[in-house]
Amino acid sequence: MRPSDLSDVTKDASTLETIIQQAEDVLPLLREEHAQVIRDLEQEQSIAAEIENCDQEYLSELKVTLAEQGYCRAFTAEWGTTANSGNQYCAG
């Protein structure tokens, strides 16, 4: 092994140590963020399941009532038309 090879290996080892340290510094934050995202997902899935298990006919009646009361027009006026693009609840 030439001296320059040893120097290159030493530089590589130093570079790897720096990268590993940076990853170890960031990893706990990323793990906590991931855990929070999973908790939020589980909560959203629970809410979606609850809605799916509700009386769909009653929910449809409520949607019609909201539309009749102008809720969707007020929502569109406040948030802009792009907010409702393709929104099945505010159609018609």
Buried b (16+ CB within 10 A) or exposed e, 30-56: eeeeeeeeeeeeeeeeeeeeeeeeeee
Compute the distance between CA of residue 74 and CA of residue 67 in angstroms, rounded to an integer: 10
CA distance linking residue 47 with residue 61, whole number of Å: 20
> What does the pLDDT look like over 43-74, one tens digit per residue?
999 998 988 888 888 888 888 888 888 776 66
pLDDT per position as a tens digit, 25-48: 999 999 999 999 999 999 999 998
What is the full DSSP assignment across the chain?
A: --HHHHHHHHHHHHHHHHHHHHHHHHHHHHHHHHHHHHHHHHHHHHHHHHHHTS-HHHHHHHHHHHHHTTHHHHHHHHH-GGGGTT-GGG--
